[in-house]
Chains A and B, each alone.
Chain A
Amino acid sequence: MSREDIQSGLAEILEEVAGVAPADATPEKSFTEDLDVDSLSMVEIATAVEDKFGVAIPDDELGNIKTVGDAIDYVESHQG
């Protein structure tokens, strides 16, 4: 899956779970600072990412995912 496909899949999740407009879900954006995603929503997003992309995100990795770009990197490097 290309980075663009991952980004658009992630944007769908962000819209569904946290009401983020898809156009705002760009790589440089911080989930908490820019997109106003709270910690419980981050957990929900991680679960949805696991389901959608078939990757596992352990809790200690989740803490390192700060931006949309971090999430794209994580999915890209962990997908089978």
Chain B
Amino acid sequence: MSTSTDVVVTGLGAVTPLGEDVESTWGALLAGRSGISRITDDWAKEFPAQLVARLATDPADQLDRVRARRLDRSQQVAVLAAEQAWKDARGADAGVDPLRIAVVVGTGIGGALTLLGQDDVLEEKGPKRVSPFTIPMLMPNGPAAAVGLAVGAKGGVHAPVSACASGAEAIRWGLDLLRFDRADIVLVGGTEACIHPLPMAGFAAMRAMSTRNDEPERASRPFDKARDGFVLGEGAAALVLERADAAAARGARAYARLAGAAATADGYDLVAPHPEGEGAARAISAALRDADLSPSDIGHVNAHATSTPVGDTAEAGAIRSAIGEHALVTATKSLTGHLLGAAGALESVFTILALRDQIVPATANLDDPDDDAAVQALDIVRREPRKATLHAAVNDSFGFGGHNLALVFTTA
């Protein structure tokens, strides 16, 4: 569906392994600094995959103590990123009726640390010692609800769950809410914080994680021949969306337009991506149609590229078939790790900043590109960031379950 409703991004927030806000994260990314390290905790010693991308700073330290103890870490980091974005957009001064403020914040896993931590309490001390805050801290809509309270949103609070596409899916929902005039301003984003033995063991059992334990900063290597899996990261990112005319009327600064979005399902397998990226290509093509743009308009793609052997080549095929070989592709998970449900939101922030600064960050560790024909054909930026004249860019995200999301941003 193409509509005449222009939607712009007026605020950004991020709390990531690379930095505690948007600009520090972006600066670290352009400088090629890795957020990945080896776990030093005793529990990890027997684990095949021991690498993580932890937050640069503990989110609980930046929140009121009592507030922090009632929020799961995934909620804490979501609230911090959302408050940054809201402040950046001067949302509190926008004069928007709370009934017209909506929130969409997705997560892939939800409050896993609370679930697992309280299960320990249950086993050790019995049911009476389980915290009364257990359920609001572990429920997957918990981060969206906490963000809604933080900004006083009464126009609806939503929590899409589509694994590693959740953050991107939240952005698409936000676009729809504005196009359907169900809100005047929407705070969207994604969050994840599940670095704990159980998720680590589960992903490792799927053989999805890198085991390059001796070289943490070289472990996440999307599109590289020697890639062997993703590195689990934590963090959150948030964006403020509003209709372009309303944003202009209140004098808000627009970073970029959110020109189009689309979602598809592979209909192929519960976890394995379609080998040729058929569903992913359909999502990208549909998002371009939604944005009323041609493949040749797209100058940059921030790829989902998690550094898994199967996923990266499937995505390369999808980008090549839906967009072509001219766009500058980058895979920022090479430095941030994989933030699961936050990935699509964080990488949208990166895509928007690439348009703002007219520069594409480099894919780290891409020493020897895969022999796959599509990987060879694409122009993947590596070694140094590349300056370019960019008008439109795509961020794609995929999730276990066969979820494919594509978002199209253009310069404001």
User: Residues on A close to B: CB < 8 A?
Assistant: 17-19, 40-41, 43-44, 47
Contacts and interface: CB of A to CB of B under 8 A. Distances in A.
Contacts of A19: 64-66
B389 interface: no
Nearest to B64: A19
A40 B132 contact: yes
Chain B's interface: helix, strand, loop or mixed, by majority? helix
Interface string B60-89: 000011100000000000000000000000
A41 B69 CA distance: 11
Contacts of B128: 47
B296 interface: no
B117 to A, nearest CB: 15
Nearest to B133: A40
Nearest to A17: B66
A44 B65 contact: no
B129 interface: yes
A43 B131 CA distance: 8
Contacts of A17: 66
Contacts of B136: 40
Interface of B: 64-66, 128-129, 131-133, 136
B63 to A, nearest CB: 12
A32 B131 CA distance: 19
B66 A44 contact: no
Contacts of B65: 19
A61 to B, nearest CB: 14
Contacts of A40: 132-133, 136
Question: Which of the listed residues B65, B128, B129, B132 has the most CB atoms from chain A within 10 Å of its own CB?
Answer: B132
B132 A44 contact: yes
A72 B65 CA distance: 26
A41 B66 CA distance: 10
Contacts of B131: 44
A19 B63 CA distance: 13
A61 B132 CA distance: 18
15 contacts: A17-B66, A18-B66, A19-B64, A19-B65, A19-B66, A40-B132, A40-B133, A40-B136, A41-B132, A43-B132, A44-B131, A44-B132, A44-B133, A47-B128, A47-B129
A47 B126 CA distance: 12
Contacts of A47: 128-129
Nearest to A39: B132
Contacts of A44: 131-133
Q: Which 7 A-B pairs have the closest CB atoms?
A: A19-B66, A43-B132, A40-B132, A44-B132, A40-B133, A18-B66, A47-B129
A47 B136 CA distance: 18
Contacts of A41: 132
B283 to A, nearest CB: 41
A67 B54 CA distance: 43
A42 B64 CA distance: 19
Given A40-B132, A40-B133, 13 more contacts: A17-B66, A18-B66, A19-B64, A19-B65, A19-B66, A40-B136, A41-B132, A43-B132, A44-B131, A44-B132, A44-B133, A47-B128, A47-B129
